[in-house]
């Protein structure tokens, strides 16, 4: 038994032992107060705090994280793997939704800020560029023959129909992506998701 008192000079269980170590839980075996076979699970609550271990440990930890992340990115580059990021039009392109509802046409500008910062930072640091492979519009509502997507610059201006399972948009050569959404019957009650597939070059 112990008293949970921070003013006590004695250590509490595990106090000061550090986060790394081997712990064991034992119950008396000679005289059992209950049937140990009835134990189905043990829940251990651990409260801990972190201490500054100095610049040496910090530098080693950051170097290890960076090395592992770089290895991951190299694998993605070597295998030409694609990553995905999704955006809600209602939440992140509210102006475009407003335009769609009021004028049946809206413009989405997809720029660097729409990609995770960790990848943008890595690409900039190592001279890589984020390359968009495709864009898809996805929704729980079938907007076939109602919602159309095309490009204002960078590729053909021919509109492509939006289907229930999404549609891929051709890749522009460079610059900011601009996508026109045209709809004759779009009330904005249901969300549409912009799914971007990208890689690094």
Structure tokens at 147: 């919602």
User: In whole angstroms, what is the distance from residue 51 CA to residue 199 CA?
Assistant: 38
Q: For residue 87, what is the DSSP state?
A: E
- How far does the chain reach from its first CA to its final CA, in angstroms? 62
pTM strictly above 0.85:
no
Beta carbons of 13 and 2 less than 8 angstroms apart: yes
Grade residue 163 by pLDDT with cuts at 50, 70 and 90.
very low
User: In whole angstroms, what is the distance from residue 152 CA to residue 145 CA?
Assistant: 20
Q: Which CATH number fits domain 81-200: 2.60.120, 1.10.10, 2.40.350, 3.30.70?
A: 2.60.120
User: In whole angstroms, what is the distance from residue 179 CA to residue 63 CA?
Assistant: 40
Where are the chain's structural domains?
81-200
Grade residue 40 by pLDDT with cuts at 50, 70 and 90.
very high
């Amino acid at each position: 038994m112990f008293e949970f008192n921070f003013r006590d000079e004695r250590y509490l269980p595990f106090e000061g032992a550090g986060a790394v170590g081997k712990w064991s839980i034992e119950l008396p075996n000679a005289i059992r107060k209950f049937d140990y076979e009835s134990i189905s699970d043990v829940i251990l609550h651990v409260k801990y705090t972190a201490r500054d271990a100095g610049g040496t440990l910090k530098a080693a930890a950051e170097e290890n994280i960076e090395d592992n992340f770089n290895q991951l990115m190299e694998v993605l580059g070597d295998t030409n793997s694609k990553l995905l990021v999704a955006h809600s039009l209602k939440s992140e392109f509210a102006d475009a939704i407003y335009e769609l509802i009021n004028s049946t046409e809206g413009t989405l500008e997809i720029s660097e800020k729409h990609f995770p910062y960790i990848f943008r930072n890595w690409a900039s640091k190592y001279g890589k560029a984020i390359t968009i492979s495709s864009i898809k519009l996805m929704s729980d509502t079938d907007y076939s023959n109602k919602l159309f997507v095309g490009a204002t610059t960078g590729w053909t201006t021919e509109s492509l129909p939006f289907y229930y399972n999404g549609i891929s948009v051709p890749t522009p050569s460079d610059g900011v992506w601009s996508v026109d959404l045209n709809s004759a019957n779009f009330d904005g009650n249901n969300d549409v998701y912009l799914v971007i597939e990208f890689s690094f070059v």
